[in-house]
Amino acid sequence: MPAVPAVDGLVLRYLAAFGPGTVADVQAWSGLTRLREAVERLPLRLFRGEAGEVLYDLPDGPRPAEDTPAPPRFLPEYDNLLLSHADRARVIPHRRPVPLPPGNGATGGTFLVDGRWQGTWQLRAGTLRVRPFISLPAADTDALAAEAAGLAAFIDPQTPADVVVEHP
């Protein structure tokens, strides 16, 4: 069996975690340039994004139906989902800059509703405060509150924080 170039493995790992993606996405994530040749020589599935861009993915990558709802998800500070794309419009519909707070402590982050970044969260003084950017339908707000309660219990199983979902 011939040796696989290391860059091929890097491309495949990126697509396994974040695919589908563009060549520019792989380059933004890896910090490497000139990866088009590596991406194009791999046996990948090709798709077209909403803007017509070519998206590459693993041949057997998971692909739920387009109408599959994506439940709310809380992301920590500096999460790769928001940072690993050259064009972040697929997950950041409103072109907000990704928050990059100084220091560490993991007491805040962002959240997704239907796979899109729709707000921020912060844990302070026993309260998990959820701040949507937009008005959400009641069903999404309820699901977001339930996911927030799960996050609060995960952060401190002995004393979960109070959850407050603010209005934009």
Q: Is residue 103 part of a domain?
A: yes
CA-based max dimension of the chain: 58
123 and 77 housed in the same domain: yes
pLDDT of residue 86: 78
Domains contained in the chain, number: 2
Q: Is residue 160 part of a domain?
A: yes
27: containing domain: 6-57
The set of long-range contacts for 140-147, using a CB threshold of 8 Å and a minimum separation of 24, is 140/72, 140/113, 140/114, 141/165, 143/71, 143/72, 144/72, 144/111, 144/113, 147/71, 147/72, 147/73, 147/74, 147/111
52 and 78 housed in the same domain: no
40 and 117 housed in the same domain: no
Q: Is residue 138 part of a domain?
A: yes
Choice among 52-61, 63-72, 146-155 with the minimum mean pLDDT? 63-72
Q: Is residue 63 part of a domain?
A: no
For the segment 85-102, the average pLDDT, to the nearest whole number, is 74
- pTM (two decimals): 0.76
For the segment 116-129, the average pLDDT, to the nearest whole number, is 91
pLDDT of residue 44: 97
83 and 159 housed in the same domain: yes
112 and 159 housed in the same domain: yes
137 and 90 housed in the same domain: yes
85 and 39 housed in the same domain: no
* Backbone φ and ψ of 164, nearest 5°: -125, 120
Residue-averaged pLDDT of the chain:
87
87 and 148 housed in the same domain: yes
